[in-house]
Amino acid sequence: MLTFEILKTSEETGGSTPSRARLGTITTDHGVIDTPIFMPVGTRGSVKSVSVEDLDHCKVQIILGNTYHLYLRPGCEVIDHMDGLHSFIGWNKPMLTDSGGFQFFSLAKLAKFTDAGVAFQSHIDGSRHVFSPEKAVEIQMILGSDIMMSLDWCMGYPASERQTLEAVNKTSLWAKRGFDFWQEKGAVNNLFGIVQGGMYKPLRTLSAEQLTRIDFPGFALGGLSVGEPKALMYEMADHTLPLLPVHKPRYIMGVGTPEDLVELVGMGCDMFDCVMPTRNARNGQLFTSTGTLNISNAKFRLDKGPIDTDCNCYTCQNYSRGYLRHLYKSRELLSYRLNTMHNIYYYLDLMEKMRAAIRDDRFLAFKTEFYAKRQT
Amino acid sequence: MLTFEILKTSEETGGSTPSRARLGTITTDHGVIDTPIFMPVGTRGSVKSVSVEDLDHCKVQIILGNTYHLYLRPGCEVIDHMDGLHSFIGWNKPMLTDSGGFQFFSLAKLAKFTDAGVAFQSHIDGSRHVFSPEKAVEIQMILGSDIMMSLDWCMGYPASERQTLEAVNKTSLWAKRGFDFWQEKGAVNNLFGIVQGGMYKPLRTLSAEQLTRIDFPGFALGGLSVGEPKALMYEMADHTLPLLPVHKPRYIMGVGTPEDLVELVGMGCDMFDCVMPTRNARNGQLFTSTGTLNISNAKFRLDKGPIDTDCNCYTCQNYSRGYLRHLYKSRELLSYRLNTMHNIYYYLDLMEKMRAAIRDDRFLAFKTEFYAKRQT
């Protein structure tokens, strides 16, 4: 079972939005995670284009695996035979797996949600499968992740209040069934509950009330960053985060941009995951302290400088924008790795800087500097 | 100017084919190369999918760049501005560039060969260009390679004797003009001549006679491995290698399989390049001490072992066949890098083992063992 220790809670009140940021540590069987933390996404047993050593270099402390993808390929038989996902992929630090809920919403074909669970067809070969809340936990136990997620029903945007209420109730029912199954199986590793409720504050409140009745070691907000306006996402997070137990980790799923991380850390969120740093890297979009740049831009053709002079990542320490532009324009495979290493490093470095700012009681000043630099 | 020192020439005579293998060193401005050596191909300023540190790990001592590709993209202006190819790509060990001759034969559109040089259209955008023998050297001087190659006219297979003779004569004419240009420009770095002559021994002899009249610091055999039967390739190499000066490096271009390297080292060849280890890696074909395997094969699904239990490469030390199969089947970008590292390591390790065998007067025994192991 994980332990979560809060080392400091921000008490800064200057400015219009006081900081509720928290500094902490989560201790798991595979090591300690400093919070707030960002988790790169390793969908199919690999954070796309990088190795585990690259992740170490990028200060990564925990990665995310997608249960839906891994269940379909290579399948549980393979991962079980290979002694779990850590062993299979060679990553010996903490790992979190999702439940598949988001993929049933975003990727699977013809997903049908019933009290029993989700019936769906594989996006790869159309084969038919059913995930029950128990099965979602069972598969994640085979994967052996340090933090497993309850099966949830994720709504798109917009969604009607009636539909959203149905998803909230189903999510709560499934959460309890998954939790009970997990307890029966010895409560190995950890299982987090996921709060839904779409863009309706009363339903977010209802979902949080229902979920927090179950003694999960941590809670997540799901169903955000599904197409809603940014302000609405912040509003939902700001409304819901205070409804979660103070002494347990709080995780916002699938979020977000560097700005999102800064805002949501300020609201007291501890964990994040998003494909943005890795996916955008493969599209040539690179994050820097002064904003984002597209490496394919012709202005970088003769540029001898690094992506970001403030960055200590492998890519910035060794390669010029001119070379990175050439690699990207030539679709060289090395391009994806070098871009990805930079973006992951940027995200993890940002989290480290936020942790330092919370520790030193200057999180609000950090936020001000962060935005000032980006506007230049 | 390079220095080539022959440390040992094999004098083993047991078996049907006596060994003429040589052990040596080539010293260049960017360091020493142990010969016989294999040079991985970094066509467009990157050995596909791997970094320079990966190449170091794989015991790579010299890489090859393709002048035709680099001239078209990113272009000489960029590489000149970036202070040469070494600086641009971050590789500080020796580098060889070809002249473009092979690409005019294999890749460019509508190449026209005249006394003046080659007129061609870019395979990327159809733009029109002309390479003269002087220009081929001039471009390579901008690239800054340690070993430059003369512009040559490469024939396919089959080719008529008349056509091949024309190519031989043109190649010799161009070689002299390129050499004179190189001398005028201060004879920086090194320029090798390329022997052509197709599959006609008298024309190979003629080409070798014409070329070796010019005081190149090294010589290559071109126009091999262009579709001819393997036995014919060996016959041509065996015929031509002894016609080249003993005290200068001998390089067979675009060859070959592990078996080819073993055979041709035995004939006294010192240098090789080929896309085979890198290209085949990206197609899932991996070289091992017992033969080649295709990692996509279903039999590797639950295989916990490494690609090759005899291999000390990064991939074999860290990953199972089962995981590598999953990465390959999932088209994960990491697959290409891990496979490529293994194959390059295999090639360089094979060269190292051959050098040790020559040093210890057991090259013929090494050959016997090499083939025995592959048949099991």
What single-letter amino acid sits at B221?
Answer: L
Nearest CA in chain B to A47: B334
Which band of pLDDT confidence, cut at 50, 70 and 90, is reported for residue B11?
confident
pLDDT tens-place string over residues A103-158: 988 887 789 999 999 999 999 999 999 999 999 999 999 999 999 999 999 999 99
Q: Tell me the shortest Cα–Cα distance from B312 to chain A, in angstroms.
A: 17
pTM of the complete model: 0.98
Of B73, B302, B332, the CB nearest to A330: B73
Tell whether B186 is covered by a domain.
yes
Residue of B nearest to A50 (CA): B334
Say if A299 is an interface residue toward chain B (CB within 8 Å). no
Q: Cβ of B293 under 8 Å from any chain A Cβ?
A: no
* B135–chain A nearest CA distance, Å: 23
Amino acid (1-letter code) at residue A282: R
Q: What is the pLDDT of residue B375?
A: 74
Question: How close A50 gets to chain B, by Cα (Å)?
Answer: 6
Helices A201-212 and A230-240: angle between axes, nearest 10 degrees: 40
Whether the CB-CB separation of B158 and B191 falls below 8 Å is answered with: no
Three-state DSSP at B331 gives coil
Q: B146: which 2 tokens?
A: 């340690």
| Phi (first) and psi of residue B346, to 5 degrees | -55, -45
Tens-digit pLDDT profile for residues B224-250: 999 999 999 999 999 999 999 999 999
**Going by DSSP bridges, is the β-strand pair B3-9/A109-114 parallel, antiparallel, or unpaired?**
unpaired
Mutation target to probe the B interface, by most B beta carbons within 10 A, among A46, A316, A318, A319 is A46
pLDDT tens sequence across A48-69? 999 999 999 999 999 999 999 9
Mean pLDDT for the stretch of residues B163-189: 97
Q: Check: CB of residue B216 under 8 Å from CB of residue B193.
A: yes
Domain-embedded: residue B150: yes
Q: So what's the pLDDT on residue A376? A: 66
* Structural domain contains residue B357: no
B285-301 pLDDT, tens digit each: 999 999 999 999 999 99
Q: What is the predicted pLDDT for the residue at B92?
A: 98
Q: What is the overall mean pLDDT for chain B? A: 96
Give CA–CA dist B150/B181, Å, rounded: 11
For residue A77, which residues of chain B lie inside 8 Å, CB to CB?
A: 302
Looking at residue B105, its pLDDT comes to 85
**Do B302 and A88 count as a contact with CB atoms less than 8 A apart?**
no
pLDDT of residue B15: 67
- Length of chain A counted residue by residue: 376
Query: Distance (Å, rounded) from C-alpha B190 to C-alpha A321?
Result: 30
Of B46, B88, B304, the CB nearest to A334: B46
In single-letter form, the type of residue at position B205 comes to T
Residue B318 contacts residue B305 (beta carbons within 8 Å) = no
Report whether B85 contacts B145 (CB < 8 A): yes
The tokens 């994720």 sit on which residue?
A: A154
- Between CA B261 and CA B272, with CA B266 as vertex, the angle to 5 degrees is 35
Q: Are B354 and B24 in contact (CB under 8 A)?
A: no
Q: At residue B350, does pLDDT exceed 70?
A: yes
Domain count, chain B: 1
The 10 Å Cβ neighbour count of residue B107 is 16
Helix ranges, chain B (H): 52-57, 67-72, 76-81, 85-89, 101-106, 133-143, 161-184, 201-212, 230-240, 258-266, 276-282, 314-318, 321-329, 333-359, 363-375
Question: Using CB atoms and an 8 Å cut-off, which of residues 84-143 of chain A contact chain B?
Answer: 88-90
Interchain pair B327, A51: CB under 8 A:
no
Tokens of B266: 């035995």
Q: How confident is the model at residue B108 (pLDDT cuts 50, 70, 90)?
A: confident
Lowest mean pLDDT among B68-77, B103-112, B160-169: B103-112
Q: Which of B94, B103, B198 is nearest to B144 (CA)?
A: B94
Q: What is the DSSP letter of A41?
A: B
Query: Which tokens sit at A232?
Result: 């609405």
Q: Which residues of A touch B329 (CB under 8 A)?
A: 73-74
Q: What is the pLDDT of residues B243-271, one digit of tens each?
A: 999 999 999 999 999 999 999 999 999 99
Cβ A333–B49 below 8 Å, yes or no? yes
- Across chain A, what does the average pLDDT equal? 96
CATH number, domain at B197? 3.20.20.105
Which is catalytic among the residues B146, B260, B270, B273?
B273
What is the sign, positive or negative, of the torsion defined by CA atoms of A330, A336, A337, A343?
positive
Residue of A216, A189, A179, A170 whose CA lies nearest to A65: A189
Closest among B259, B346, B350 to B307, alpha carbons compared: B346
- The whole-angstrom distance between B149's CA and the closest CA on chain A is 24
d(CA B191, CA B137): 8
Percent of chain A with pLDDT strictly greater than 70: 99
Residue A58 resides in a domain:
yes
Residue B157 token pair: 């297979």
Would the CB atoms of B45 and A323 count as touching at under 8 Å?
yes
Interchain CB contact of A326 with B (< 8 Å): yes
User: Is residue A14 assigned to a domain?
Assistant: yes
- Diameter of chain A measured on Cα atoms: 62
B323 to A81: CB separation less than 8 angstroms, yes or no: no
Identify whether the C-beta of residue B26 lies closer than 8 Å to the C-beta of residue B1. Answer: no
Eight-state DSSP code of residue B36: S
* A35 pLDDT tier (thresholds 50, 70, 90): very high
A180 is catalytic: no
B143: confidence class by pLDDT, cuts 50, 70, 90: very high
* pLDDT at residue A12, as a whole number: 87
How far apart are the C-alpha atoms of B86 and B80, rounded to whole Å?
Answer: 11
On whether residue B246 sits in a domain, the answer given is yes
The verdict on residue A17 lying in a domain is yes
pLDDT of residue A359: 97
pLDDT for residue A15 is more than 70: no
Give the pLDDT score at A160: 97
Segments forming the whole domain that contains residue B168: 3-281
β pairing state of B128-131 and B63-65: unpaired
User: Which pLDDT belongs to residue B109?
Assistant: 77
A260 included as an active-site residue: no
Question: Long-range contacts made by residues A75-84, C-beta under 8 angstroms, separation at least 24?
Answer: A76/A139, A76/A142, A76/A143, A77/B302, A78/B301, A78/B302, A78/B322, A78/B326, A79/A142, A79/A143, A80/A142, A81/B302, A81/B304, A81/B322, A82/B302, A82/B304, A82/B320, A82/B322, A82/B323, A83/A144, A84/A142, A84/A143, A84/A144
> Is residue A215 assigned to a domain?
yes
Distance CA B130, CA B111 (A): 9
Tell me the C-alpha distance between B56 and A369, whole Å: 41
Distance from CA of A238 to the nearest CA of B (A): 37
Contact: B73, A329; criterion CB under 8 Å: yes
Give A338's contacts in chain B (Cβ within 8 Å).
Answer: 51
pLDDT in tens, B296-316: 999 999 999 999 999 999 999
CB within 8 Å of B226: residues ≥ 6 apart: B105, B154, B155, B156, B157, B254
Residue of A nearest to B81 (CA): A302
pLDDT bin (cut points 50, 70, 90) of residue A1 is: confident
**Residue linked to tokens 């074999």:** B316
SS3 for A63-100, per residue?
EEECHHHHHHCCCHHHHHHCCCHHHHHCCCCCEEECCC
Q: What are the residue ranges of helices labelled H in chain A?
A: 52-57, 67-72, 76-81, 85-89, 101-106, 133-143, 161-184, 201-212, 230-240, 258-266, 276-282, 314-318, 321-329, 333-359, 363-375
